[in-house]
A and B are shown apart, each in its own frame.
Chain A
Amino acid sequence: MAELAERTPPAPRRRRPGGGLALWSVLTSSMARYIARRILWGIFLLIVVSGITFLIFYAFPSADPAALRAGRQATPALIEQIRHSLGLDKPLYEQYWIYMKGLVLHFNLGYSYQNDVSVRSQIFDRLPVTLSLTVGAVVVWMLAGIPTGIISALRRRSPIDRLTMGGSLVAISAPVYFLGLVGLFLFASDIGRVHLLPGAGSYVPLTQDPKQWFLSLLMPWFVLAAAFAAFYARMVRANLIEVMSEDYIRTARAKGLSERRVVGRHGLRAALTPVVTMAGLDIGLLLGGAVLTETVFNIPGIGRYAYDSIINSDLPAIQGTVLFGAVFIIGANLVVDVLYAFIDPRVRY
């Protein structure tokens, strides 16, 4: 009996407001409604995007997909037959309707005009490639850009500040196709001055050969990251300089904190929050396909696929890549906005 008495359950613990329950209640209440609203908006946007892509394709025809598919010595009859089998002889609205029906009901992005392969599987096959390129580039530009920006801000007007900020202008201004070609001519193992790294078209999946994967992506990572690193360095520098003149930095110094802590805990905490926003949006953008980098280095990612499908007037593939990119951008926007509520307590939904 005594044992039983001891085992009476403890009184239910009362949750203090602002305790562990707060996160949950935020997630279920206003934030959940906010996210739902944003997702509905996103879907609406995707419909608009697909409609516009469709219209653009027909309003500015680059080449007749049926003729392209039929080959060089095709008879008009053959072209007509292909046109019919691809459904291109139906009125525009009907084609769009069929496309959207497949997309909504079966998540079917259609089949390539070129080779009848499912666009969805093409894109998903290429996603790991683009992901590899993006993640590596993000790591490079964060590691390069943020410390550079911090040092420049803290050593304002010093030679190192002028050097890095001047250099960043060059990096921002140099287009990927220029920088990429320069890189290839200098370092590629086939055409380079110094045979240092694998050249264009050398990509192998990570699962197949990790070392080769890493080496083949090293140059693309740096080329893609260059402009971003420069941009982030400038942004971090500007933010930090502004933050360091805030009153609360003066308070932190007046409290007797070390300068290291003033910068690290007080300055950077405020200066780096906008970087989260930018990084989220940029990552979303690149996941939709880094078209230029993938094309220059002949990396078989989504960007390269988008480029090829435009060259071939392959509407389903174009639609697929555009929609895919749009999903990433819309998703990244949403993630960033939700994330912000956690890094900035003043933000409420």
Chain B
Amino acid sequence: MALLEVRGLHVRFRTGDGIVSAVNGASYSVDRGRAIGIVGESGSGKSVSALTILGLTRFPNSRIEGSVLFEGRDLLKLDADELRAIRGSRIAMIFQDPMSSLHPLYKVGWQIVEAIRAHEDVSRRVAYRRALDSLTEVGIPSPEERMSSYPHELSGGMRQRAMIAMALALDPDVLIADEPTTALDVTVQAQILELIRKLQQERGTAVILITHDLGVVAEMVDDVAVMYAGRVVEHGPLAAVLERPTHPYTWGLLQSIPRLDAPRSARLHPIPGLPPSLIRVPSGCPFHPRCAYAFEACPRKDPPLFASEPGHEDACLLPAAEKRRIGSSIAAAPRAETAVSA
């Protein structure tokens, strides 16, 4: 059994415009010491599904179905106090924008100490010590001074390091990183990813990395889940998904990324159209209105998951041989040469 398993998750929000189906039966899982990348456009449900793991989408206007199994316990069924004991200490989360994610009126050190003392009955002094160690571990220069800095006194990269230090101070089993590098400069992005990977490998933390950036995924993870319109349309080991992609949406994503090994005259192929409305999700396969390979069955039949090889599945109605043929012609280059999109 996986350490953390999201199974058939549905998240719907009642809004003034109608019911928004943000997540529609998404399933994925991650194990100790492994990293999974959740990839998709804005509105694909990747962030909402991750926030739901921690119960951060429990609003009066939301409806959540399915299950989130953590060590066999369904987090969706826990009450607020039981869930709170897990938040931060067993499953920690870092967010996209480290400026707005840290409280602007409290010192960085105070915020880390608070996280530690929320879960462990330790003295202020001990918690301070551990917060300092945590800042040191994430590579913040002169950590002692930074403890008494306010977030606005730190650069974007340093703030994200501080967020990571806060998340890791309690040595969680799972780290959810929601677009951790999107708001950062490209050079800093690489450092932050390097840091997350290093910590993951040293501590054996399971990592769920949410990103719209396939380049980030190629650098970082063991498994990939591609999400579209609130569901997982393709998932499998990194190499399998990049080298033998079997879903037309994954093909589209791969073709829209510049590659170092392609001729300079090669054009990028953006996916036509816009992400679907989550209030009126297209019938059948939600990708069919934008899919170049759609045929008559697509608008009518909601595709189940087909295994193209062990551990590698996709939700596409095309015949398996067809998917293999097209996929191999589009496939990404071997991992080492994969272009990193900026």
Whether A257 and B105, one on each chain, are in contact in the complex, defined by CB atoms closer than 8 angstroms, is: no
Q: Complex Cα distance A304/B114, Å?
A: 52
A343 CA / B163 CA spacing, docked (Å): 23
Residues of B within 8 A of A246 (CB): 100
Q: Which residues of B contact A18 (CB under 8 A)?
A: 145, 148
Asked if A247 and B118 sit within 8 Å, CB to CB, the answer is no
Among the listed B93, B102, B152, which residue makes an inter-chain contact with A248, where contact means beta carbons less than 8 Å apart?
Answer: B102
Contact B100 A345 (CB under 8 A): no
Residue of B nearest to A259 (CB): B80
Beta-carbon nearest neighbor of B176 in chain A: A254
Instruction: Say yes or no: is A255 at the interface (Cβ < 8 Å to chain B).
Output: yes
Contact pattern, A 232-264, Cβ under 8 Å of B = 1, otherwise 0: 000000000000001110111111111101000
Question: At the interface, yes or no: B290 with Cβ under 8 Å from chain A?
Answer: no
Contact between B101 and A345, CB atoms less than 8 A apart? no
Q: Is the CB–CB distance between A248 and B115 below 8 Å? A: no
Given known pairs A247-B95, A248-B100, A250-B95, the reply for A255 and B114 (CB within 8 Å) is yes
Q: Which residue of B lies closest to A249 (CB)?
A: B103
- Decide if A256 touches B115 in the complex (CB within 8 Å): yes
Number of interface residues of A (CB under 8 A): 25
Query: Are B166 and A255 closer than 8 Å at their CB atoms?
Result: yes
Q: When the two chains form their complex, are residues A270 and B95 in contact, meaning their CB atoms are under 8 A apart? A: no
Residue in chain A with minimal CB distance to B58: A253
B92 at the A interface (CB under 8 A): yes
Which of B93, B101, B119 neighbours the largest number of chain A CB atoms within 10 Å of its CB? B101
Q: Does A346 contact B (CB under 8 A)?
A: yes
Closest partner residue, chain B, to A246 (CB atom): B100
Please tell me if A344 contacts chain B, counting CB pairs below 8 Å.
yes
Max chain B C-beta neighbours (<10 A), residue from A250, A261, A266, A269: A250
Contact A256 B103, beta carbon cutoff 8 Å: no
Q: How far is the CA of A27 from the CA of B56 in the complex (A)?
A: 43
A345 with B88, Cβ < 8 A, contacts A250-B56, A257-B114 known: no
> Which residue among A255, A273, A344 has the maximum number of chain B CB atoms within 10 Å of its CB?
A255
Q: Could you say which of A252, A273, A343 contacts B103, with CB atoms under 8 Å apart?
A: A252
Contact string against A for B residues 269-306, beta-carbon threshold 8 Å, 1 for contact and 0 otherwise: 00000000000000000000000000000000000000
Residues of chain B lying within 8 A (CB to CB) of residue A266 = 103
8 Å CB contact of B102 from A251, A253, A254, A273: A251
Interface string of B86-106 (1 = CB under 8 A from A): 111100110101001111111
A95 to B104, CA, bound (A): 54
Q: Which of B95-127 contact A (CB under 8 A)?
A: 95, 97, 100-106, 114-115, 118-119
Known contacts: A254-B54, A255-B87, A256-B119. The answer to whether A270 contacts B105 by CB under 8 A is yes
Chain A residue nearest in CB terms to B97? A247
A251 touches B95 (CB 8 A): yes
Q: How far is the CB of A261 from chain B (nearest CB, A)?
A: 8
Could you say which of A18, A247, A261, A266 has the most chain B C-beta atoms within 10 Å of its C-beta?
A247
In contact, B105 and A255 (Cβ under 8 angstroms): no
Q: How far is the CB of B87 from chain A (nearest CB, A)?
A: 4
**A344→B88 CA distance, assembly (Å):** 27
A343 to B150, CA, bound (A): 13
Instruction: Enumerate chain A residues within 8 angstroms of B87, measured Cβ to Cβ.
Output: 253-256
In the bound complex, residues from chain A placing their C-beta under 8 Å from that of B101 are 247-248, 250-251
Let me know if B342 is at the binding interface, CB within 8 A: no
Q: How far is B5's CA from A336's CA once the two chains are assembled, in angstroms?
A: 52
Q: Does any Cβ of A come within 8 Å of B130's Cβ?
A: no
Q: Does B84 have its Cβ within 8 Å of any Cβ on chain A?
A: yes
- Chain B: residues with CB nearer than 8 A to chain A? 51, 54, 56, 80, 84-89, 92-93, 95, 97, 100-106, 114-115, 118-119, 145, 148, 150, 152, 163, 166
Interface residues of A (CB under 8 A from B): 17-18, 246-248, 250-259, 261, 265-266, 269-270, 273, 343-346
**Listed A/B pairs (13) with beta-carbon separation below 8 Å:** A18-B148, A248-B100, A251-B95, A252-B103, A253-B87, A254-B92, A255-B88, A255-B114, A255-B118, A256-B84, A257-B88, A269-B106, A344-B105
4 tightest Cβ-Cβ pairs between the two chains A and B = A256-B88, A256-B87, A247-B100, A255-B88
